Structure 1
Protein backbone atom coordinates (compact mmCIF):
# COMPACT_ATOMS: atom_id res chain seq x y z
CA UNK A 1 0.00 0.00 0.00
CA UNK A 2 1.33 3.43 -0.91
CA UNK A 3 0.40 6.80 0.56
CA UNK A 4 1.32 8.70 -2.61
CA UNK A 5 -1.87 10.47 -3.66
CA UNK A 6 -3.16 11.62 -7.04
CA UNK A 7 -4.90 10.71 -10.27
CA UNK A 8 -2.68 7.92 -11.60
CA UNK A 9 -3.73 8.28 -15.25
CA UNK A 10 -3.23 12.05 -15.21
CA UNK A 11 0.19 11.65 -13.60
CA UNK A 12 1.18 9.16 -16.29
CA UNK A 13 0.01 11.58 -18.99
CA UNK A 14 2.10 14.36 -17.43
CA UNK A 15 5.13 12.06 -17.28
CA UNK A 16 4.63 11.15 -20.95
CA UNK A 17 4.64 14.83 -21.85
CA UNK A 18 8.01 15.17 -20.11
CA UNK A 19 9.61 12.83 -22.66
CA UNK A 20 9.89 15.56 -25.29
CA UNK A 21 11.50 18.07 -22.87
CA UNK A 22 14.99 16.66 -23.37
CA UNK A 23 16.98 19.77 -22.45
CA UNK A 24 14.94 20.25 -19.28
CA UNK A 25 15.46 16.63 -18.22
CA UNK A 26 19.17 16.84 -18.97
CA UNK A 27 19.40 19.94 -16.76
CA UNK A 28 17.67 18.25 -13.83
CA UNK A 29 19.61 15.02 -14.27
CA UNK A 30 22.90 16.93 -14.32
CA UNK A 31 22.02 18.70 -11.06
CA UNK A 32 21.79 15.39 -9.21
CA UNK A 33 24.70 13.64 -10.89
CA UNK A 34 27.58 15.04 -8.73
CA UNK A 35 25.93 13.61 -5.60
CA UNK A 36 25.45 10.07 -6.90
CA UNK A 37 27.61 7.24 -5.70
CA UNK A 38 28.11 3.76 -7.06
CA UNK A 39 24.63 2.37 -6.37
CA UNK A 40 21.63 4.70 -6.86
CA UNK A 41 17.96 4.05 -6.10
CA UNK A 42 15.31 6.25 -7.69
CA UNK A 43 12.00 6.49 -5.80
CA UNK A 44 8.92 7.02 -7.97
CA UNK A 45 10.56 6.48 -11.35
CA UNK A 46 7.33 6.97 -13.29
CA UNK A 47 7.87 5.91 -16.90
CA UNK A 48 11.66 5.81 -16.51
CA UNK A 49 12.73 8.94 -18.39
CA UNK A 50 15.16 10.12 -15.71
CA UNK A 51 16.46 6.61 -15.05
CA UNK A 52 17.23 6.13 -18.75
CA UNK A 53 19.02 9.49 -18.93
CA UNK A 54 21.09 8.73 -15.83
CA UNK A 55 21.99 5.32 -17.24
CA UNK A 56 23.22 7.08 -20.39
CA UNK A 57 25.37 9.25 -18.09
CA UNK A 58 26.99 6.11 -16.66
CA UNK A 59 24.97 5.83 -13.42
CA UNK A 60 24.40 2.40 -11.86
CA UNK A 61 20.71 2.79 -11.04
CA UNK A 62 17.66 0.95 -9.76
CA UNK A 63 14.29 2.36 -10.82
CA UNK A 64 11.30 1.79 -8.55
CA UNK A 65 7.54 2.31 -8.67
CA UNK A 66 4.44 1.51 -6.63
CA UNK A 67 1.79 2.20 -9.29
CA UNK A 68 1.11 -1.12 -11.08
CA UNK A 69 0.68 0.40 -14.54
CA UNK A 70 3.86 2.45 -14.38
CA UNK A 71 5.75 -0.45 -12.80
CA UNK A 72 4.76 -2.66 -15.74
CA UNK A 73 5.88 0.09 -18.15
CA UNK A 74 9.26 0.30 -16.38
CA UNK A 75 9.77 -3.45 -16.56
CA UNK A 76 8.92 -3.48 -20.25
CA UNK A 77 11.16 -0.49 -21.00
CA UNK A 78 14.23 -1.88 -19.25
CA UNK A 79 13.69 -5.60 -19.87
CA UNK A 80 16.67 -5.75 -22.24
CA UNK A 81 18.69 -2.96 -20.63
CA UNK A 82 21.20 -4.38 -18.14
CA UNK A 83 22.12 -0.89 -16.93
CA UNK A 84 18.81 -0.36 -15.12
CA UNK A 85 17.26 -2.65 -12.56
CA UNK A 86 13.56 -2.34 -11.70
CA UNK A 87 11.85 -3.07 -8.39
CA UNK A 88 8.47 -2.49 -6.80
CA UNK A 89 8.71 -0.10 -3.86
CA UNK A 90 5.88 1.58 -1.97
CA UNK A 91 5.94 4.46 0.50
CA UNK A 92 6.06 4.16 3.49
CA UNK A 93 9.15 1.96 3.15
CA UNK A 94 9.71 -0.52 5.97
CA UNK A 95 12.88 -2.18 4.69
CA UNK A 96 16.46 -0.93 4.90
CA UNK A 97 19.28 -0.96 2.39
CA UNK A 98 22.84 -0.01 1.53
CA UNK A 99 22.43 2.33 -1.45
CA UNK A 100 24.88 5.19 -1.96
CA UNK A 101 22.09 7.58 -3.04
CA UNK A 102 18.32 7.79 -2.98
CA UNK A 103 16.94 10.22 -5.57
CA UNK A 104 13.31 11.36 -5.75
CA UNK A 105 12.30 13.97 -8.30
CA UNK A 106 8.81 15.40 -7.83
CA UNK A 107 7.78 12.69 -5.39
CA UNK A 108 7.90 13.99 -1.80
CA UNK A 109 5.19 16.60 -2.42
CA UNK A 110 2.72 13.74 -3.02
CA UNK A 111 3.30 12.16 0.40
CA UNK A 112 1.21 13.31 3.39
CA UNK A 113 3.86 12.21 5.92
CA UNK A 114 6.88 13.67 4.17
CA UNK A 115 9.05 13.55 7.31
CA UNK A 116 8.38 9.84 7.76
CA UNK A 117 9.00 9.21 4.07
CA UNK A 118 12.38 10.96 4.20
CA UNK A 119 13.34 8.95 7.30
CA UNK A 120 12.55 5.79 5.36
CA UNK A 121 14.66 7.06 2.43
CA UNK A 122 17.56 7.48 4.87
CA UNK A 123 17.02 3.90 6.03
CA UNK A 124 17.82 2.73 2.51
CA UNK A 125 21.24 4.44 2.59
CA UNK A 126 24.68 3.49 3.85
CA UNK A 127 26.19 5.97 6.37
CA UNK A 128 27.06 9.22 4.61
CA UNK A 129 24.78 8.41 1.68
CA UNK A 130 22.81 11.17 -0.02
CA UNK A 131 19.12 11.92 -0.48
CA UNK A 132 18.69 14.03 -3.64
CA UNK A 133 15.35 15.78 -4.17
CA UNK A 134 13.47 18.08 -6.47
CA UNK A 135 10.10 19.39 -5.27
CA UNK A 136 7.74 22.14 -6.56
CA UNK A 137 8.20 25.59 -5.02
CA UNK A 138 5.92 28.23 -3.46
CA UNK A 139 2.47 27.46 -2.13
CA UNK A 140 0.95 30.49 -3.92
CA UNK A 141 1.58 28.63 -7.20
CA UNK A 142 -0.55 25.65 -6.10
CA UNK A 143 -3.02 24.99 -8.93
CA UNK A 144 -5.92 22.68 -9.69
CA UNK A 145 -3.50 20.64 -11.76
CA UNK A 146 -1.19 20.29 -8.73
CA UNK A 147 -4.09 19.02 -6.66
CA UNK A 148 -5.35 16.71 -9.40
CA UNK A 149 -2.00 14.91 -9.61
CA UNK A 150 -1.84 14.60 -5.84
CA UNK A 151 0.40 17.43 -4.68
CA UNK A 152 -0.10 17.92 -0.95
CA UNK A 153 2.05 21.06 -0.82
CA UNK A 154 4.69 23.19 -2.50
CA UNK A 155 7.87 24.20 -0.67
CA UNK A 156 10.14 27.08 0.16
CA UNK A 157 13.82 26.34 0.71
CA UNK A 158 13.59 26.99 4.46
CA UNK A 159 10.59 24.69 4.79
CA UNK A 160 12.21 21.82 2.90
CA UNK A 161 15.44 22.19 4.87
CA UNK A 162 13.43 22.01 8.10
CA UNK A 163 11.66 18.85 6.95
CA UNK A 164 15.00 17.23 6.06
CA UNK A 165 16.43 18.07 9.49
CA UNK A 166 13.33 16.68 11.21
CA UNK A 167 14.02 13.47 9.28
CA UNK A 168 17.49 13.49 10.91
CA UNK A 169 19.31 14.28 7.67
CA UNK A 170 22.16 16.78 7.33
CA UNK A 171 21.32 19.41 4.69
CA UNK A 172 24.13 19.94 2.18
CA UNK A 173 22.37 21.98 -0.51
CA UNK A 174 18.92 23.54 -0.77
CA UNK A 175 18.16 26.17 -3.41
CA UNK A 176 15.63 27.24 -6.03
CA UNK A 177 15.91 26.30 -9.70
CA UNK A 178 14.22 27.50 -12.87
CA UNK A 179 13.50 31.04 -11.69
CA UNK A 180 11.29 32.42 -14.50
CA UNK A 181 9.63 29.01 -14.77
CA UNK A 182 7.73 29.90 -11.60
CA UNK A 183 5.94 32.72 -13.44
CA UNK A 184 5.19 30.44 -16.40
CA UNK A 185 3.72 27.83 -14.04
CA UNK A 186 1.65 30.43 -12.17
CA UNK A 187 0.16 31.86 -15.35
CA UNK A 188 -0.40 28.55 -17.16
CA UNK A 189 -1.57 26.38 -14.29
CA UNK A 190 -2.91 28.75 -11.64
CA UNK A 191 -4.42 31.63 -13.61
CA UNK A 192 -5.37 29.90 -16.87
CA UNK A 193 -6.09 26.53 -15.19
CA UNK A 194 -4.08 24.68 -17.82
CA UNK A 195 -1.30 22.12 -17.54
CA UNK A 196 2.11 21.53 -19.12
CA UNK A 197 1.74 19.40 -22.25
CA UNK A 198 3.47 18.53 -25.48
CA UNK A 199 3.21 21.01 -28.31
CA UNK A 200 4.96 23.95 -29.98
CA UNK A 201 5.06 25.99 -26.77
CA UNK A 202 6.80 23.23 -24.79
CA UNK A 203 9.19 22.61 -27.70
CA UNK A 204 10.16 26.28 -27.88
CA UNK A 205 10.50 26.45 -24.09
CA UNK A 206 12.79 23.43 -24.07
CA UNK A 207 14.96 24.45 -27.03
CA UNK A 208 15.29 28.18 -26.45
CA UNK A 209 14.63 29.03 -22.81
CA UNK A 210 16.05 26.04 -20.93
CA UNK A 211 19.68 26.18 -22.23
CA UNK A 212 19.89 29.92 -21.53
CA UNK A 213 18.38 29.67 -18.05
CA UNK A 214 20.55 26.67 -17.20
CA UNK A 215 23.66 28.71 -18.06
CA UNK A 216 22.44 31.68 -15.99
CA UNK A 217 21.73 29.52 -12.95
CA UNK A 218 25.17 27.92 -13.21
CA UNK A 219 26.51 31.42 -12.43
CA UNK A 220 23.80 32.90 -10.17
CA UNK A 221 21.80 31.50 -7.25
CA UNK A 222 18.14 32.28 -7.83
CA UNK A 223 16.08 33.85 -4.97
CA UNK A 224 12.97 32.05 -6.30
CA UNK A 225 12.11 29.29 -8.74
CA UNK A 226 9.59 26.79 -10.01
CA UNK A 227 11.27 24.04 -7.97
CA UNK A 228 13.60 23.44 -5.04
CA UNK A 229 16.68 21.24 -5.43
CA UNK A 230 18.08 19.70 -2.25
CA UNK A 231 20.80 17.29 -1.16
CA UNK A 232 20.97 15.89 2.37
CA UNK A 233 23.20 13.27 3.96
CA UNK A 234 22.59 10.39 6.31
CA UNK A 235 24.52 11.11 9.50
Structure 2
Protein backbone atom coordinates (compact mmCIF):
# COMPACT_ATOMS: atom_id res chain seq x y z
CA UNK A 1 0.00 0.00 0.00
CA UNK A 2 1.11 3.58 -0.65
CA UNK A 3 2.73 4.66 2.62
CA UNK A 4 2.08 8.40 2.42
CA UNK A 5 -1.54 7.81 1.52
CA UNK A 6 -1.96 5.36 4.40
CA UNK A 7 -0.42 7.71 6.97
CA UNK A 8 -2.70 10.50 5.74
CA UNK A 9 -5.81 8.38 6.18
CA UNK A 10 -4.62 6.87 9.46
CA UNK A 11 -4.68 10.40 10.88
CA UNK A 12 -8.41 10.85 10.23
CA UNK A 13 -9.26 8.25 12.88
CA UNK A 14 -6.41 8.64 15.37
CA UNK A 15 -7.93 11.40 17.57
CA UNK A 16 -11.12 9.37 18.07
CA UNK A 17 -9.79 5.88 18.82
CA UNK A 18 -9.95 6.04 22.62
CA UNK A 19 -8.69 3.27 24.86
CA UNK A 20 -10.16 0.17 23.20
CA UNK A 21 -11.03 0.52 19.49
CA UNK A 22 -12.12 -2.21 17.09
CA UNK A 23 -11.38 -2.29 13.37
CA UNK A 24 -14.07 -3.90 11.27
CA UNK A 25 -12.66 -5.82 8.30
CA UNK A 26 -9.01 -5.05 8.99
CA UNK A 27 -7.65 -6.70 5.86
CA UNK A 28 -3.98 -7.51 6.39
CA UNK A 29 -3.70 -5.14 9.37
CA UNK A 30 -1.75 -2.25 7.82
CA UNK A 31 -3.96 0.43 9.36
CA UNK A 32 -4.23 -1.40 12.68
CA UNK A 33 -0.44 -1.58 12.97
CA UNK A 34 -0.32 2.23 12.76
CA UNK A 35 -3.23 2.82 15.14
CA UNK A 36 -1.62 0.59 17.77
CA UNK A 37 0.87 3.39 18.33
CA UNK A 38 -2.02 5.50 19.65
CA UNK A 39 -4.21 2.99 21.50
CA UNK A 40 -3.29 0.79 24.49
CA UNK A 41 -5.16 -2.18 23.03
CA UNK A 42 -7.16 -2.97 19.93
CA UNK A 43 -9.42 -5.62 18.41
CA UNK A 44 -9.14 -6.44 14.71
CA UNK A 45 -11.74 -8.42 12.80
CA UNK A 46 -12.16 -10.09 9.44
CA UNK A 47 -14.76 -12.16 7.64
CA UNK A 48 -12.37 -13.67 5.09
CA UNK A 49 -10.62 -16.83 6.45
CA UNK A 50 -7.33 -16.17 4.64
CA UNK A 51 -7.11 -12.60 5.90
CA UNK A 52 -8.10 -13.72 9.38
CA UNK A 53 -5.20 -16.17 9.34
CA UNK A 54 -2.85 -13.44 8.11
CA UNK A 55 -3.94 -11.19 10.98
CA UNK A 56 -3.29 -13.95 13.50
CA UNK A 57 0.18 -14.50 12.07
CA UNK A 58 0.98 -10.78 12.02
CA UNK A 59 -0.18 -9.98 15.55
CA UNK A 60 0.37 -13.31 17.31
CA UNK A 61 3.15 -11.89 19.50
CA UNK A 62 1.24 -8.73 20.43
CA UNK A 63 -0.79 -9.18 23.61
CA UNK A 64 -2.51 -5.83 23.09
CA UNK A 65 -4.27 -7.12 19.95
CA UNK A 66 -7.36 -9.34 19.97
CA UNK A 67 -8.37 -11.02 16.73
CA UNK A 68 -11.85 -12.28 15.94
CA UNK A 69 -14.03 -13.30 13.04
CA UNK A 70 -16.86 -10.91 12.23
CA UNK A 71 -19.35 -10.89 9.39
CA UNK A 72 -21.49 -7.82 8.75
CA UNK A 73 -24.27 -7.30 9.57
CA UNK A 74 -24.33 -9.11 12.91
CA UNK A 75 -26.25 -9.10 16.21
CA UNK A 76 -23.01 -8.78 18.18
CA UNK A 77 -22.70 -6.17 20.94
CA UNK A 78 -19.65 -4.83 22.76
CA UNK A 79 -18.31 -1.80 24.68
CA UNK A 80 -15.45 -0.57 22.50
CA UNK A 81 -14.37 3.06 22.53
CA UNK A 82 -14.57 3.29 18.73
CA UNK A 83 -15.36 1.19 15.66
CA UNK A 84 -13.29 1.95 12.58
CA UNK A 85 -14.13 0.76 9.08
CA UNK A 86 -12.11 1.78 6.03
CA UNK A 87 -13.36 0.93 2.55
CA UNK A 88 -15.77 -1.75 3.69
CA UNK A 89 -19.35 -0.45 3.45
CA UNK A 90 -19.17 -0.17 -0.33
CA UNK A 91 -18.89 -3.98 -0.47
CA UNK A 92 -21.99 -4.67 1.64
CA UNK A 93 -25.50 -4.72 0.25
CA UNK A 94 -27.04 -3.99 3.66
CA UNK A 95 -24.88 -1.01 4.59
CA UNK A 96 -27.48 0.20 7.10
CA UNK A 97 -27.33 -3.14 8.90
CA UNK A 98 -23.53 -2.95 8.88
CA UNK A 99 -23.58 0.52 10.46
CA UNK A 100 -26.08 -0.63 13.06
CA UNK A 101 -23.67 -3.44 13.94
CA UNK A 102 -20.83 -0.95 14.32
CA UNK A 103 -23.04 1.20 16.52
CA UNK A 104 -23.71 -1.82 18.73
CA UNK A 105 -19.97 -2.48 19.03
CA UNK A 106 -19.24 0.82 20.80
CA UNK A 107 -20.23 2.13 24.21
CA UNK A 108 -22.60 5.13 24.45
CA UNK A 109 -20.65 8.19 23.33
CA UNK A 110 -18.20 6.01 21.36
CA UNK A 111 -17.16 6.85 17.84
CA UNK A 112 -17.91 5.17 14.52
CA UNK A 113 -15.31 6.19 11.94
CA UNK A 114 -15.99 5.44 8.30
CA UNK A 115 -14.07 5.87 5.04
CA UNK A 116 -15.78 4.96 1.76
CA UNK A 117 -15.13 5.68 -1.94
CA UNK A 118 -16.94 8.74 -3.29
CA UNK A 119 -19.18 9.56 -6.25
CA UNK A 120 -21.17 7.02 -8.27
CA UNK A 121 -19.88 8.47 -11.55
CA UNK A 122 -16.45 7.04 -10.68
CA UNK A 123 -17.83 3.51 -10.44
CA UNK A 124 -15.92 1.62 -13.10
CA UNK A 125 -14.51 -1.80 -13.96
CA UNK A 126 -12.00 -1.61 -11.10
CA UNK A 127 -14.80 -1.10 -8.57
CA UNK A 128 -16.83 -3.96 -9.97
CA UNK A 129 -13.80 -6.26 -10.04
CA UNK A 130 -13.14 -5.60 -6.33
CA UNK A 131 -16.76 -6.19 -5.31
CA UNK A 132 -18.04 -2.65 -4.86
CA UNK A 133 -21.82 -2.37 -4.94
CA UNK A 134 -21.93 1.42 -4.54
CA UNK A 135 -19.98 4.63 -4.09
CA UNK A 136 -21.15 7.39 -1.77
CA UNK A 137 -21.70 11.12 -1.65
CA UNK A 138 -21.85 13.22 1.50
CA UNK A 139 -25.64 13.19 1.14
CA UNK A 140 -26.03 9.42 0.88
CA UNK A 141 -23.50 8.87 3.69
CA UNK A 142 -25.37 11.31 5.91
CA UNK A 143 -28.67 9.55 5.21
CA UNK A 144 -27.44 6.08 6.16
CA UNK A 145 -25.59 7.32 9.27
CA UNK A 146 -28.71 9.06 10.56
CA UNK A 147 -30.83 6.01 9.74
CA UNK A 148 -28.43 3.97 11.91
CA UNK A 149 -29.11 6.37 14.82
CA UNK A 150 -25.62 7.87 14.79
CA UNK A 151 -24.80 11.50 15.51
CA UNK A 152 -22.60 13.03 12.82
CA UNK A 153 -19.64 15.09 14.01
CA UNK A 154 -17.62 15.38 10.79
CA UNK A 155 -18.50 14.52 7.22
CA UNK A 156 -16.31 15.62 4.33
CA UNK A 157 -14.54 14.62 1.16
CA UNK A 158 -10.81 13.92 0.99
CA UNK A 159 -8.22 13.41 -1.73
CA UNK A 160 -9.59 15.62 -4.50
CA UNK A 161 -6.70 15.02 -6.88
CA UNK A 162 -6.90 11.31 -6.19
CA UNK A 163 -10.47 11.21 -7.51
CA UNK A 164 -9.42 12.86 -10.77
CA UNK A 165 -6.52 10.46 -11.23
CA UNK A 166 -8.65 7.44 -10.33
CA UNK A 167 -11.40 8.39 -12.75
CA UNK A 168 -9.02 9.00 -15.64
CA UNK A 169 -6.97 5.85 -15.08
CA UNK A 170 -9.73 3.36 -14.27
CA UNK A 171 -12.83 4.71 -16.00
CA UNK A 172 -11.38 6.38 -19.09
CA UNK A 173 -8.17 4.44 -19.66
CA UNK A 174 -9.58 1.20 -18.19
CA UNK A 175 -6.43 0.50 -16.21
CA UNK A 176 -6.40 -1.76 -13.17
CA UNK A 177 -5.19 -0.26 -9.88
CA UNK A 178 -1.97 -1.78 -8.62
CA UNK A 179 1.75 -1.24 -8.05
CA UNK A 180 3.47 0.73 -10.76
CA UNK A 181 4.94 4.06 -11.73
CA UNK A 182 1.61 5.87 -11.47
CA UNK A 183 1.07 4.68 -7.89
CA UNK A 184 4.63 5.64 -6.95
CA UNK A 185 4.16 9.11 -8.40
CA UNK A 186 0.84 9.50 -6.63
CA UNK A 187 2.23 8.45 -3.26
CA UNK A 188 5.48 10.42 -3.47
CA UNK A 189 4.06 13.63 -4.94
CA UNK A 190 0.30 13.88 -5.32
CA UNK A 191 -0.77 12.52 -1.93
CA UNK A 192 1.54 14.75 0.19
CA UNK A 193 0.66 17.82 -1.89
CA UNK A 194 -3.08 17.14 -1.65
CA UNK A 195 -2.90 16.41 2.07
CA UNK A 196 -1.13 19.71 2.66
CA UNK A 197 -3.63 21.70 0.59
CA UNK A 198 -6.63 20.08 2.24
CA UNK A 199 -5.42 21.19 5.67
CA UNK A 200 -6.46 24.68 4.64
CA UNK A 201 -9.28 24.13 2.15
CA UNK A 202 -12.04 21.54 2.48
CA UNK A 203 -12.54 20.21 -1.05
CA UNK A 204 -16.03 20.06 -2.63
CA UNK A 205 -15.19 16.60 -3.99
CA UNK A 206 -12.72 13.81 -3.33
CA UNK A 207 -11.87 10.17 -3.85
CA UNK A 208 -13.20 9.31 -0.39
CA UNK A 209 -15.94 10.33 2.02
CA UNK A 210 -14.72 10.63 5.62
CA UNK A 211 -17.34 10.29 8.36
CA UNK A 212 -16.87 10.71 12.11
CA UNK A 213 -20.03 9.81 14.00
CA UNK A 214 -20.96 8.92 17.56
CA UNK A 215 -23.34 6.59 19.30
CA UNK A 216 -25.64 8.88 21.32
CA UNK A 217 -24.55 9.07 24.96
TM range (shorter): over 0.9
Unaligned regions of 5+ residues in structure 2, if any?
none
Describe the superposition over 1:129-185 as per-residue Cα deviations: whole angstroms up to 9, x where unpaired. 110000000000001110111111001101101110011111111100000111111
Task: Indicate which of 4, 23, 39 corresponds to 2:20.
Answer: 39
Q: 1:195, 1:127 → 2: CA distance? A: 42
Deviation of 1:59 after TM superposition, in Å, equals: 5.4
Give the Cα separation in 2 of the matches to 1:59 and 1:206: 29
Q: Judge conservation of contact 2:22–2:45 (CA < 8 Å) in 1.
A: yes
Partner in structure 2 of residue 73 of structure 1: 54
Which residue number in structure 1 is paired with residue 213 of structure 2?
232
Identify the residue that residue 29 of structure 1 maps to in structure 2: 10
For structure 1, the 5+ residue unaligned runs are: 1-17
Output one character per residue of 1:88-115: Cα deviation in whole Å (capped at 9) or x when no partner.
Answer: 1111111100001000000011110111
| Partner residue in 1 for 2:69 | 88
User: RMSD value over aligned CA atoms?
Assistant: 1.1
User: Aligned pair count?
Assistant: 216
Q: Runs in 1 of length 4+ with deviation above 4 angstroms?
A: none
Correspondence for 2:122 among 141, 158, 181: 141
| Aligned equivalent of 1:183, options 134, 148, 164 | 164
SS in 2 for 1:93: coil
Report if the CA contact (8 A) 2:115-2:211 is conserved. Answer: yes
Q: TM-score under structure 1 normalisation?
A: 0.89
* Conservation of the 8 A alpha-carbon contact between 1:141 and 1:186: yes
* Residue of structure 2 aligned with 1:158, choices 125, 136, 139: 139
User: d(CA) in 1 for partners of 2:40 and 2:204?
Assistant: 31
Distance 1:188 1:38 in 2: 40
Aligned to 1:62: 43
Deviation at 1:208, TM superposition (A): 1.3
Where does residue 96 of structure 2 map in the other structure? 115
Corresponding residue to 1:53 among 34, 45, 48: 34
Matched position secondary structure for 2:76: coil
